[in-house]
Amino acid sequence: MNNDVTELPIITRILRQARARCDISDIPGFAAVFGERSTLGVTQEEAARLTGVSRRWYNSLESGRSANYSDTFLQAVRRVLDLNDEEWHIVYRVTRGRVPAEAPVSPLTALLPEPLRNLVEDSPTWALYISDHRWDVLASNAKNLEIFPWMKYGINVMEWALTWPEARTQLIDWEEEWALPMIAQLRVHAEQYRNDERLRGVIRTVRGDPEARKLWDAPNLPSLTHPASQQPRRLYLPRHGGKIFTVRFLAFTPMELPSCRLIAITPTTPVVDCDLHV
């Protein structure tokens, strides 16, 4: 058998190289799930678990075999292995036969006042982001990316937290602390903005996930319309191994865009070192 690497399918070469260079310290919750280690790279088993599929299904993709791979799975591979734009476009085009669609852009992005955008993007201390009533992010700062690195992919907050496999690795007690209160908020907006097609699309995405769909009609959904500052949530952070952090979400309404929300993420205790200068 010819084992010359040049004879390997291009997807195999791209994904193997991406797995080998992957810095596991950048993956929030990796150490808590798989254990601490100092070497670079993730195994196929780890990549499969982080992307929410079986090792067999992940191996099928990396081996270059044709199959009906979903956009959800391919996007998860992109994020977990941190594929650059060129790698991502090659993998997607070879697998799906077309170029990947761009992430949706909220029409409210163009209406975001420049001073408000500057406040969010230039804030040096705490993580800030502003989202519309569909939870599409309009602006965020660098500190926010230090907590949620996946937000650089044009994130919708609900779709990320409720359907992305790696979110369940990062967010501790995902169902009780995160999913139930967020679904409760989403359901309020589903009633308030019945004719909003983009919001309906977000809801379809959320309800398309088996775990989230089970919680949609949960009898213990809280009565919430915004993150409760008195209900802290726990999570893992990139580059902090298995250390648990507890944060609060503070929600504000910009007077110029009353359908939007400015969210500040702060630690629950005063910062005495750089661990949570997020």
70-92 per-position pLDDT tens digit: 999 999 999 999 999 999 999 99
105-130 per-position pLDDT tens digit: 888 889 999 999 999 999 999 999 99
Do 253 and 49 touch, CB atoms closer than 8 A?
no
d(Cα 118, Cα 113) in Å, to the nearest integer?
Answer: 9
d(Cα 240, Cα 147) in Å, to the nearest integer?
Answer: 11
Mean pLDDT in residue range 134-153:
91
Half-sphere exposure of 193 (CA within 13 A, CB side): 17
Secondary structure (DSSP) of 169-214: HHBTTIIIIIIHHHHHHHHHHHHHTTT-HHHHHHHHHHHTSHHHHH
Q: How many other β-carbons are positioned within 10 Å of the β-carbon of residue 172?
A: 18
Give bridge partners of residue 139 from the DSSP assignment.
130
Q: Residue 274: is its pLDDT beyond 60? A: no
Task: Assign 81 to helix, strand or coil.
Answer: coil
CATH homologous superfamily, domain 5-96: lambda repressor-like DNA-binding domains (1.10.260.40)
Q: Does 107-267 carry CATH code 3.30.450.180?
A: yes
Half-sphere exposure of 48 (CA within 13 A, CB side): 13
pLDDT bracket for residue 1 (50, 70, 90): very low
Give the list of residues 6+ apart from residue 187 with CB closer than 8 angstroms, or none. 216, 221
pLDDT of amino acid 46: 97
Q: Residue 3: is its pLDDT beyond 60? A: no
Domain positions in the chain are 5-96, 107-267
Choose the weakest-confidence range: 35-39, 49-53, 205-209, 262-266: 35-39
Mean pLDDT in residue range 162-172:
94
Handedness of CA 111, 178, 232, 123 (dihedral sign): negative
